[in-house]
Amino acid sequence: MVDDDPQILNMLQEFLEGQGYAVTAATAGGQALDLLQQQEFALALLDLMLPGASGLELLSYIRSHNLDTEVILFTGHAGLDSAVQALRLGAYDYLVKSDLRLAELQVLVVKALERRRLARENRELVAHLSSAREELAHRRARELAQVRQIGETLVGPLSWDQLFQGLVNLIWDSLPVQVLGLALRGPVSELPLEACRRQPEVADNDFEAFQAILHEQFLVCPETPETPSARKPVPEMMWLTVTVEDVTLVAGIGRQEVFSPEEAELFRIFILQGEAGIKNLVLFEHVKNLATQDALTGLHNYRYFREALGQEVERCRRYNMPLSLLFLDIDDFKQINDTLGHQHGDAIIREVGVILKGGIRLADLLCRYGGDEFVLLMSQTPLKQALLLAERLRRLIARTPITQAGQSTQLTVSIGVASLTAGMSMEDLIKAADGALYRAKEAGKNRCCDAKTGAFSERTAKDPSNQRFFN
CA 256-260-266 angle, 5° bins: 110
Strand order in the sheet with 469-470: 365-370, 373-379, 323-330, 413-419, 448-450, 456-457, 469-470
Burial 339-373 (b: 16+ CB within 10 A, else e): ebeeebbebbbbbbbeebeebbeeebbbbbbeebb
Write phi, then psi, for 52 (nearest 5 degrees). Answer: 90, -55
Tell me whether domains 6-112 and 137-292 share a fold: no
pLDDT at position 63:
86
Output the CA angle 292-295-297, nearest 5 degrees. Answer: 100
Which H or E element spans position 110? helix 102-132
pLDDT at 410: 86
Q: Which CATH superfamily is domain 6-112 in?
A: Response regulator (3.40.50.2300)
DSSP state letters, 248-274: EEEEEEEESSPPPHHHHHHHHHHHHHH
Average pLDDT, the chain: 83
6-10, 116-120, 401-405: segment of lowest average pLDDT? 401-405
- The percent of the chain in helix, strand and coil, each rounded to the nearest 5, is 50, 20, 30
- Is the pLDDT at 168 greater than 70? The verdict is yes
Mean pLDDT of the region 37-47: 91
pLDDT given at position 441 = 92
pLDDT over 80 (residue 401): yes
Decide if pLDDT at 81 tops 80: no
Question: CA distances (Å), 34 to each of 21, 28, 72, 437, in order?
Answer: 21, 10, 19, 61
Q: What is the pLDDT of residue 178?
A: 94
Query: Is the pLDDT assigned to residue 391 strictly greater than 90?
Result: yes
Residue 289: is its pLDDT beyond 80? no
Q: Which helix (H) or strand (E) holds 287?
A: helix 261-292
| Nearest CA among 6, 53, 50 for reference residue 25 | 6
Q: In the predicted model, what is the mean pLDDT of residues 7-34?
A: 92
The whole-number pLDDT of residue 118 equals 87
Count of CB atoms situated within 10 Å of the CB of 202? 17
> Over 80: is that where the pLDDT of 184 sits?
yes
Q: Write the CA distances from 168 to 123, 194, 252, 299, 406, integer angstroms.
A: 22, 10, 11, 36, 55
Mean pLDDT computed over 165-190:
88
User: 302-470: which CATH architecture?
Assistant: 2-Layer Sandwich (3.30)
What phi and psi values does residue 201 have, to the nearest 5 degrees? -75, -10
User: Which has the higher per-residue pLDDT, 173 or 150?
Assistant: 173
Domains of the chain by residue range: 6-112, 137-292, 302-470
Q: Which residues contact 286 (CB under 8 A, 6 or more apart)?
A: none
Task: Provide the pLDDT for residue 429.
Answer: 93
Q: What is the pLDDT of residue 150?
A: 61
pLDDT, residue 462, reads: 39
pTM for the model stands at: 0.45
From residue 234, alpha-carbon distances to 205, 218, 252, 292, 415 in Å are 11, 20, 12, 48, 66
Q: What is the pLDDT of residues 224-282, one digit of tens each?
A: 444 444 567 888 999 999 998 888 999 999 999 999 988 898 889 888 888 888 887 88
Task: Give the pLDDT of residue 394.
Answer: 93
* pLDDT greater than 80 at residue 103: yes
Mean predicted confidence (pLDDT) in 154-181: 82
Fold of domain 137-292 = Beta-Lactamase (3.30.450)
134 Cβ partners below 8 Å, 6+ apart?
A: none
Q: Is the pLDDT of residue 286 over 80?
A: no
pLDDT top residue among 324 and 232: 324
Q: Is the pLDDT of residue 91 over 80?
A: yes
In this prediction, residue 130 has a pLDDT band, given cuts at 50, 70 and 90, of low
347-370 confidence digits (pLDDT tens): 889 999 999 988 888 889 999 998
Reply yes or no on whether the pLDDT at 324 is more than 90: yes
Flag whether pLDDT at 173 surpasses 90.
no
Instruction: Provide, rounded to the nearest whole percent, the portion of the chain with pLDDT above 90.
Output: 32
User: What's the pLDDT at 276?
Assistant: 81
Tell me the C-alpha distance between 181 and 211, whole Å.
7
- Asked if pLDDT for residue 49 goes beyond 90, the answer is no
